[in-house]
Structure 1
Amino acid sequence: MERFISIVVCQLIILYVYKLTLGIFKKENKNDLSSREWILILSVLFISVVIAGFLTLTSTQNVPSNTRLVIVICIAGIVLINIVTVYLVIDLSKKNSVIKENEMLRMQQVYQSNYIENAKAQYEIIRKMRHDIKNNYIVIGSLIKSGNIDKATKYINDNIHNFTLFANVINTNNDVVNAVINYKSSIAQELEIEVSIITVLDFDGISDIDLCSLISNLFDNAIEACKKMNSNKHIDFSIKKDESVYYFSMKNTIGHSVLEGNPELNTTKKDKIIHGFGTKIINDIAKKYNGAFDYYEENGYFICSIILKNK
């Protein structure tokens, strides 16, 4: 009994050291294990205790001293395996964190490139409008002077889409938000996805990097889902603010339930190492700002809801 209690205490000490070590890494934003991973770790420790317990009971029977020595060595080996497992999991977690950080840096570079391309596109639209607006005014003025009011009205209606195209561009006080939303919206429109956007103007207390990652991932997931549909492709994105709290909501139409077959939203792409961070990044950002992240399905829509608290 004393030996069995010693084994249990030893395993609990290993678990405590493991949790303490992970806590240190977590404060440095280097580690964060899910509930499933904790269950697996506890299962390994529990199975080890059970095996060691059976070996201890066996050693109390009438067995040769040499056999008892082997049993003691086996128990020591089990404890050693657990210790090695602890360090192995920590090492793998750190490497996964490095992969995640590298992927986020790559995404930021892509978004910065998108920002530049979007800025160029907006400049080109403005340049064309300035080039054409004088001629349009001349034509409209001539039609009005000659009394052709109907033709002038028709001319305006035929060319109003040129102004509408520019008017629909999001223009907040944050250049990063403008660039990301405008770029992702243009991609969605090219894929014949209807996009509806409502947003606040200011984003005080939230870093540009986090805004870029959050909004980009939300749009990427929504666009990817809509691409699988043949019709009724719609994205509804909104950002609202209530005092010091920001509410992000992304809704996209779905043809069938996503959560029934994939409740944890694991990536379905082949390269899971590169493409499996979207939901994880969103959840990390929500935690960083003492907020919350939730997703659910309602009335034919998949909905992501994020709350961020202004620090």
Structure 2
Amino acid sequence: MNFSAFLNPVNFQDTPRLFTAIAEWLAVFVYFNIYKKRYNDKTFILQCVCTLGIQVLFQFIAGILPLSFWIISMVGAVGMMYLSLYLVLDIKPKDCGVITTHAFVLAEFAASLYKQLYVWLVKLGDNDSQLASVCMMIIVYLCTFIIYFNVERGNIAPNRNLNVSTKELVSVVITGVGAFIISNISFVTSRTPFSATENMLYVRTLVDFGGMLMLMTEMGRRNELALKNESNAINQLFQRQYEQYKLAVDNSEALRKEMHDMKHYVMALKNEDDPDRRAEVLEDMEQAIAIQESFMNTGNKVLDVILTTKSLQCQKKNITLNAMVDGDLLADIHVKDICSLFGNILDNAIEATQQVEDMEKRLITLSVRKRNQFTIVECENISDSSNVKLRSNKRRRRFGRNSLPKTTKGDNVKHGFGLKSISQVAEKYGGAMNCSYENGWFKVKVLLANKN
């Protein structure tokens, strides 16, 4: 491969194919480290090596083909980038199309910037050598991709899909294709308003830079909007949990009054001769007793109502709820935060446990205890492993604060807010949330800092 072929006036615009392949691979590698990966570290390293080798081989073959195959080669290069991203990342096809467009424009800009600066260096010092070319490529690529990585990772949330629409995908692709066409049209013909024979490299670099900025800005705005919508959704979830609590308070009062009427059931049972009516009265009494057994007394009235309500839900779904709770430890927690914290913890646990087919295994345990300067809220529930989507094949998996377990529902933008709201409550009170899955048990552990 001729590394200095671009210095020939005829091939003045050519970037070495090897450098082009490296730029495309580095652009892909940037998004490997920004977006959520599909596999573990060992597999990821192997995939990185393979994608680099394939990209280099493809560009080598493309360099041998006649110039008439240039457009086909470029489409093929984009296709290889798309395939690499789709196989490595846990990503949807449309999302991958957006990421690929960003990566391709980034690679074009990096390659163009390298060429621009190296040509300028050659003209300035009249020093053309493969060593100088390689050194310039390394410097430009390192600076470009490191800066881009640090900026772009703030535009993409690492723990959720982009969920782009077809309209958004088309808009991004048009921007990328438009930047590519305008930046390269001078190399095809000089008979256009965008052609500049003497300043081809300047035009190419500036247009690629402009296209890259447009895509990054649009991604940033989209991320801001997504975060705003997510914040609104979580706030609505907080409010909904609180409304459920207020409704449960009213229901609890009604149920307590009904317990006072137990003597009327007994009298009705004594005086009832009809067997069917007697059976109906007995059924009402059993239901009232079950309700009474469900009443919790933790020392915190708010938590009592929540646990009583969830306990009744568990009874209807044949789920055993064991609660060992010291409600006095939650005296400094706001009512709405208690509602959100325990409401979401138990809702998630109930939803997962009710999917276990074996009724005898449907179990949820909840505990609230004090350890050192923290109040520890811990909830474990049996869970069908097919309903827990882990990010590795390990038997035990822990999830950090910014790496929540993936929702089993289709749209992880609209769903999965329960755990995020739990995490927000924990952070509000100087603590943190941790999730883990082991041997069929899913555990949520929340630390809340004590004021005293």
Q: TM-score range, shorter-chain basis?
A: 0.5 to 0.7
Partner of 2:52: none
Q: Distance in 1 between matches of 2:310 and 2:211?
A: 49
Query: Number of residue pairs matched?
Result: 257
TM-score by length of 1: 0.67
Q: Distance in 2 between matches of 1:48 and 1:307?
A: 48
Deviations 1:19-69 (A, max 9, x none): xxxxxxxxxxxxxxx9647x98xx959746633444326745899994562
Which AA in structure 2 matches 1:215?
Answer: F
Change (3 A) 1:182 1:100: farther
Contact 2:319–2:364 (CA under 8 A) maintained in structure 1: yes
Partner of 1:127: 257
* 1:279 to 2:419 alignment: yes
Q: Distance in 2 between matches of 1:220 and 1:115?
A: 13
Contact 1:59–1:68 (CA under 8 A) maintained in structure 2: no
Of 239, 252, 257, 2:368 maps to: 239
* 1:51 to 2:111 alignment: yes
Partner of 2:310: 184
Which AA in structure 2 matches 1:188?
Answer: C
Q: Distance in 2 between matches of 1:286 and 1:49?
A: 43
Shift of 1:208: 2.7
Partner of 1:17: none
* 1:109 to 2:239 alignment: yes
Partner of 1:25: none
| 1:274 counterpart SS class | coil
Partner of 1:12: none
| 1:275 counterpart SS class | coil
Q: Distance in 2 between matches of 1:198 and 1:35?
A: 41
**Gap runs ≥5 in structure 2:** 1-32, 37-88, 90-98, 124-186, 270-284, 393-403
Shift of 1:308: 1.8
Contact 2:248–2:309 (CA under 8 A) maintained in structure 1: yes
Which AA in structure 1 matches 2:366?
Answer: F
Change (3 A) 1:207 1:119: closer
Change (3 A) 1:93 1:166: same
Counting only pairs closer than 5 Å after superposition, residues 4-19 of structure 1 correspond to structure 2 as: none
Q: Distance in 1 between matches of 2:251 and 2:428?
A: 34
Q: Distance in 2 between matches of 1:234 and 1:167?
A: 17
Of 199, 219, 228, 2:346 maps to: 219
Shift of 1:218: 1.4
Shift of 1:132: 2.2
Contact 2:380–2:441 (CA under 8 A) maintained in structure 1: yes
Which AA in structure 1 matches 2:317?
Answer: L
Contact 2:109–2:209 (CA under 8 A) maintained in structure 1: no
* 1:92 to 2:193 alignment: no
Q: Distance in 2 between matches of 1:293 and 1:208?
A: 19
Counting only pairs closer than 5 Å after superposition, residues 203-218 of structure 1 correspond to structure 2 as: 203-218=330-345
**Gap runs ≥5 in structure 1:** 1-33, 140-158
Partner of 2:62: none
Which AA in structure 1 matches 2:307?
Answer: I
- Between stretches 227-236 and 53-62, larger displacement belongs to 53-62
Q: Distance in 2 between matches of 1:58 and 1:67?
A: 18
Deviations 1:96-130 (A, max 9, x none): 23222322233233323322332233222222221
TM-score by length of 2: 0.48
| 2:378 counterpart SS class | strand
Structural RMSD (CA): 3.8
Q: Distance in 2 between matches of 1:207 and 1:176?
A: 10
Q: Distance in 1 between matches of 2:331 and 2:372?
A: 11
Looking at CA atoms only, which structure, 1 or 2, has the larger radius of gyration? Answer: 2
Change (3 A) 1:220 1:131: closer
Of 255, 265, 268, 2:408 maps to: 268
Which AA in structure 2 matches 1:201?
Answer: G
Shift of 1:220: 1.9
| 2:318 counterpart SS class | coil
Shift of 1:252: 0.7
- Between stretches 165-174 and 211-220, larger displacement belongs to 165-174
Of 253, 265, 273, 2:382 maps to: 253
Which AA in structure 2 matches 1:212?
Answer: C
Counting only pairs closer than 5 Å after superposition, residues 18-29 of structure 1 correspond to structure 2 as: none
Identity between Structure 1 and Structure 2 (%): 22
| 1:266 counterpart SS class | coil
Counting only pairs closer than 5 Å after superposition, residues 141-180 of structure 1 correspond to structure 2 as: 162-163=288-289, 165-180=291-306
Counting only pairs closer than 5 Å after superposition, residues 290-309 of structure 1 correspond to structure 2 as: 290-309=430-449
Change (3 A) 1:198 1:68: farther
Q: Distance in 1 between matches of 2:375 and 2:107?
A: 45
Which AA in structure 1 matches 2:375?
Answer: Y
